[in-house]
A and B are shown apart, each in its own frame.
Chain A
Amino acid sequence: MKPRNLAIFLTAGLVMTTAACGGDKDSDAGGDVTITVACQPAKTAAKQREAWNADVAAFEKAHPGVKVKSTDQQPCFDPKTFAAKLAGGQMETVFMVPVTNYADVIAKGQAKDITASTGLVKNFGDIKQDVRDMLTKDGKVYGVPNVSYSVGLVYNRAVFEKAGLDPDAPPKTWDEVRAAAKKIAGLGDGYVGFGEYGGGGTGGWHFAQAIFSRGGEMVVDGKAAFNSPEGKAVLQTLHDMRFEDKSTGSKLNIGWESLMQQMAAGKTGMMLGAPDVVTDVVQKFQGKKDDYGIAAIPEGKASLTGGEAYMINPEASAAETKAGLQWIDFQFNTPGKGRHDYARGKANGEAVGVPNNDYMGDSPTGQKIAEDRKANAVLPVEYYQPYVEGSKSVEFKLEPEKAQEIYAVLDVAMSAVLTRENADIDKLLADAESKANAILAKS
């Protein structure tokens, strides 16, 4: 090709490619409907992916005319790309949102109002009211929850025994946690009594868990409320554990996985965490399944809840919305099917047994799910009984407003008390309070 023609060809090609990118969405007309659904397991999790694909095939067979396309972006929900995906028309018809982002996604109009269609999810009425309320705004429903849990104390029973502590009597107060951590650190040689986060948003997140457990608050009437005796106690205890007892280790854990990796290595005694921490420690990070127990959160005044829900793309047509909700019903809310097919999970080598999902509570569906999980357990469920029993009297707390921003603000205070011996806790809290109030004022 002559250089001139090549140049014209290249230019024309680029222009046409760009023009093609801006094409219109398929019309809603026609009988068949295609939906895209998020959260297909990654290729590296071959058995789970195979199970998902089998579920898709079964769903399509049960719903003639509906075609399901899965996406396997990991993590399923990524706040960094969420808005851009939605704006660029790349968002799936059915997408997952963690509880920390419910309010934000709903407030920004990034989820469809499904109030009139919740009947398509057969067990919707069995989902706990407070869990459903998190997805309801001004009487309108914006998503279907399918996971809910509260935070507890995850501990290593083997390390407890080695330190001369009774693994069947885990700590119930923060003083007991501190004493146990000191004993564990006394084992020397890399042993950490109590592991804690100091950055990446996880520091502030664990601050919230600890302050709730002591009866404190994060935000009250749109104002920061953590500069309180409870907030100070959280930071002071951590500071003293780090520099007086030397029981927190010297590593500033950043990012959700870092502390679980440390826990799985078998030399860390305790950490705050929801039951799914044990699943990940055992399944993802190869911790020994018989080593880990879960207790209720220390002090137990209240506990931060976590969870996730599926929402529908606001651009979805009526037919897509209907098919999307049918998928949610089939895959995430039916005992013995999809996510709740524990027999298949057990056969696939999954760490079944952790009480990591209480979104259906004591409803008939909830009881059925709990029975199935127990019947197919591969983990020692009796080690999680202190959590199940202890959590019954614990008040559940929702994420504060502007949770992610406030957690990022509190990272500074958390990292300070874990790295600087002369950290001024009063000043750290006052600074964080003023910054959090500025963020909240913009709500």
Chain B
Amino acid sequence: MPAKRPARPRRRPPTRKKRTVRTNLTAYGFLCAALFCFALFAWWPMIRQIIMSFQETNLVDEPKWVGLDNFRTVVEDPAFGQAWKNTFVFSGLALLCGYLIPFTVAIVLNELRHARAYLRFVVYLPVMLPPIVSVLLFKWFYDPGPGLFNAVLDGVGLPTLQWLDSTDTALISLVIVSTWMNMGAGVLIYLAALQNIPGELYEAAELDGAGIFKRIWNVTIPQTRLILLLMLMLQIVATMQVFIEPYMLTEGGPENATVTVAYLMYQYAFRFGGNYGAGSALGVMLMIVLLVVAAVQLRLTRDEKR
């Protein structure tokens, strides 16, 4: 008869403290990986940018501290004022179009009973195209010779336009591209918000005799206000950094009519003989403006929640 194996001492269950430490370690492990990525790819470049804005550097030799020289260079540039003006005008127009149109389209889609999925897909389709493809597509649309837009205008007997090749129409042409490219994402977000509004509210409003506009004003907008505020901030931040459109379509021209702050930064860093310091100084200025916008928005949202 085999000897009876001695019973293994029973493992005591971990104490509550140990369990907490283990759970937290897992959480901290994941957090560390995320923080490391953010630090390496977002925060460190931002810190480097602030440092470089006070330096003269070619990224090879030892950088030289130059105080506020880079900021002075940028501010004295005749294109500086024009770039800010263009950026604000672009942002204003892009907000007007990129806010109003997607919201209206979302309301219309929400009201539809048929083909909603198909139309949602069609509206979202441009977002799935790589931005470069959309921009190149519009480059052809805008061609003053064989371009689509002028062919249509000519076809219906209207005078043709110079689109990107005129100081009068170049910036608005970029706004049209930007709106077309980004509308789909906005529509989907607004649509999701609209679908969360309880149907009883509309029924009650209808019983009170509210027409469509009163329903939108008194039910839809108040119920989606938080999303609208969030999207407003995101759109301001995105449109103020507009770069792809002027870079691909106009290179800032004609006559600096489409130079934006982000494009001017690129020019300093990569066109004007690698003046990374001046480009960084401009980037710091843009960052400060965007921080102010974000702070105002956060304040507004906080007040709204209260």
In the complex formed, the residue of A with least CB distance to B276 is A83
Q: How far is the CB of A81 from chain B (nearest CB, A)?
A: 9
Instruction: Tell me if B217 counts as interface (CB < 8 A to partner A).
Output: no
In whole angstroms, how far apart are the Cα atoms of A393 and B272 in the complex?
34
Whether B77 pairs with A83 at a CB distance below 8 angstroms is no
Instruction: Tell me if B92 counts as interface (CB < 8 A to partner A).
Output: no
Q: Contacts A14-B37, A110-B60, A412-B256 known; A405 to B144 CB distance under 8 Å?
A: no
In the complex formed, the residue of A with least CB distance to B23 is A4
Which single member of B25, B59, B60, B162 contacts A250 (CB below 8 Å)? B162
In whole angstroms, how far apart are the Cα atoms of A309 and B1 in the complex?
92
Which single member of A79, A104, A108, A418 contacts B60 (CB below 8 Å)? A108
Which single member of B30, B255, B273 contacts A419 (CB below 8 Å)? B255
Whether A4 pairs with B254 at a CB distance below 8 angstroms is no
Interface residues of B in 240-267 (CB under 8 A from A): 250-256, 267
**Number of A-B residue pairs with CB-CB distance less than 8 Å in the complex they form:** 122
A residues within 8 A CB of B256?
Answer: 412
In the complex formed, the residue of B with least CB distance to A411 is B253
Q: How far is the CB of B89 from chain A (nearest CB, A)?
A: 18
Instruction: Tell me if B303 counts as interface (CB < 8 A to partner A).
Output: no
A residues within 8 A CB of B167?
Answer: 419-420
Instruction: Tell me if B94 counts as interface (CB < 8 A to partner A).
Output: no
Please classify how large the interface on chain B is, using the bins under 10, 10 to 19, 20 to 34, 35 or more. Answer: 35 or more
Q: How far is the CB of B283 from chain A (nearest CB, A)?
A: 16
In whole angstroms, how far apart are the Cα atoms of A237 and B58 in the complex?
39
Interface residues of A in 222-268 (CB under 8 A from B): 249-252, 254-255
Which single member of A82, A109, A255 contacts B61 (CB below 8 Å)? A109
Whether B254 pairs with A86 at a CB distance below 8 angstroms is no
Whether B251 pairs with A11 at a CB distance below 8 angstroms is no
B residues within 8 A CB of A402?
Answer: 273
Instruction: Tell me if B43 counts as interface (CB < 8 A to partner A).
Output: no
In the complex formed, the residue of B with least CB distance to A428 is B255
Whether B26 pairs with A190 at a CB distance below 8 angstroms is no
Question: Quick one: CB contact mask for A113-156 with B, threshold 8 Å, 1 for yes?
Answer: 00000000000000000000000000000000000000000000
Whether A79 pairs with B40 at a CB distance below 8 angstroms is no
Question: Quick one: CB contact mask for A27-47 with B, threshold 8 Å, 1 for yes?
Answer: 000000000000000000000
Whether B61 pairs with A108 at a CB distance below 8 angstroms is yes
Instruction: Tell me if A338 counts as interface (CB < 8 A to partner B).
Output: no
Instruction: Tell me if B65 counts as interface (CB < 8 A to partner A).
Output: no
In whole angstroms, how far apart are the Cα atoms of A435 and B76 in the complex?
9
Please classify how large the interface on chain A is, using the bins under 10, 10 to 19, 20 to 34, 35 or more. Answer: 35 or more
Which single member of B144, B254, B274, B276 contacts A415 (CB below 8 Å)? B254
In the complex formed, the residue of B with least CB distance to A438 is B76
A residues within 8 A CB of B76?
Answer: 438
Q: How far is the CB of B94 from chain A (nearest CB, A)?
A: 22
Q: How far is the CB of B285 from chain A (nearest CB, A)?
A: 19
Which single member of A84, A109, A419, A435 contacts B254 (CB below 8 Å)? A419
In whole angstroms, how far apart are the Cα atoms of A190 and B147 in the complex?
12
Instruction: Tell me if A62 counts as interface (CB < 8 A to partner B).
Output: no
Q: Contacts A15-B36, A108-B60, A109-B60 known; A199 to B251 CB distance under 8 Å?
A: yes
Interface residues of B in 58-107 (CB under 8 A from A): 58-61, 73, 76-78
Whether A254 pairs with B251 at a CB distance below 8 angstroms is yes
In the complex formed, the residue of B with least CB distance to A267 is B145
Interface residues of A in 89-118 (CB under 8 A from B): 104, 108-110
Interface residues of A in 56-84 (CB under 8 A from B): 79-80, 82-84
Whether A10 pairs with B33 at a CB distance below 8 angstroms is yes
Most-contacted residue by chain B among A79, A109, A412 (CB, 10 A):
A412
Q: How far is the CB of A116 from chain B (nearest CB, A)?
A: 23
B residues within 8 A CB of A6?
Answer: 29
In whole angstroms, how far apart are the Cα atoms of A442 and B59 in the complex?
18
Q: Contacts A108-B58, A419-B254 known; A4 to B26 CB distance under 8 Å?
A: yes
B residues within 8 A CB of A201?
Answer: 251, 271
In whole angstroms, how far apart are the Cα atoms of A411 and B276 in the complex?
21
Whether A200 pairs with B251 at a CB distance below 8 angstroms is yes
In the complex formed, the residue of A with least CB distance to B32 is A11
Instruction: Tell me if B164 counts as interface (CB < 8 A to partner A).
Output: yes
Q: How far is the CB of B244 from chain A (nearest CB, A)?
A: 15
Which single member of A8, A79, A198, A435 contacts B77 (CB below 8 Å)? A435
Which single member of A83, A190, A254, A404 contacts B250 (CB below 8 Å)? A254
Which single member of B25, B78, B145, B253 contacts A199 (CB below 8 Å)? B253
Q: How far is the CB of B147 from chain A (nearest CB, A)?
A: 9
In whole angstroms, how far apart are the Cα atoms of A439 and B271 in the complex?
13
Instruction: Tell me if B19 counts as interface (CB < 8 A to partner A).
Output: no
Question: Quick one: CB contact mask for B9-53 with A, threshold 8 Å, 1 for yes?
Answer: 000000000000010011011101100110010000000000000
Instruction: Tell me if B270 counts as interface (CB < 8 A to partner A).
Output: yes
Instruction: Tell me if B195 counts as interface (CB < 8 A to partner A).
Output: no
Instruction: Tell me if A431 counts as interface (CB < 8 A to partner B).
Output: yes
A residues within 8 A CB of B58?
Answer: 83, 108, 110
A residues within 8 A CB of B267?
Answer: 408
Question: Quick one: CB contact mask for B143-159 with A, threshold 8 Å, 1 for yes?
Answer: 11110000000000000
Which single member of A14, A87, A416 contacts B33 (CB below 8 Å)? A14
A residues within 8 A CB of B252?
Answer: 199, 411
Instruction: Tell me if A7 counts as interface (CB < 8 A to partner B).
Output: yes
Interface residues of A in 368-412 (CB under 8 A from B): 402, 404-405, 408, 411-412
In the complex, the 5 A-B pairs of residues with the closest C-beta atoms, listed nearest first:
A7-B29, A415-B254, A199-B253, A4-B26, A87-B59
30 A-B pairs with CB atoms under 8 Å apart are A3-B26, A4-B25, A7-B30, A7-B33, A18-B40, A79-B271, A79-B274, A80-B270, A83-B60, A83-B274, A86-B59, A109-B60, A109-B61, A190-B145, A198-B254, A199-B251, A199-B253, A201-B251, A251-B145, A252-B254, A255-B251, A402-B273, A404-B271, A404-B272, A405-B273, A415-B253, A416-B255, A418-B254, A420-B167, A420-B254
Interface residues of B (CB under 8 A from A): 22, 25-26, 28-30, 32-33, 36-37, 40, 58-61, 73, 76-78, 143-146, 162, 164-167, 250-256, 267, 270-274, 276
Interface residues of A (CB under 8 A from B): 3-4, 6-8, 10-11, 14-15, 18, 79-80, 82-84, 86-87, 104, 108-110, 190, 198-201, 203, 249-252, 254-255, 402, 404-405, 408, 411-412, 415-416, 418-420, 431, 434-435, 438-439, 442
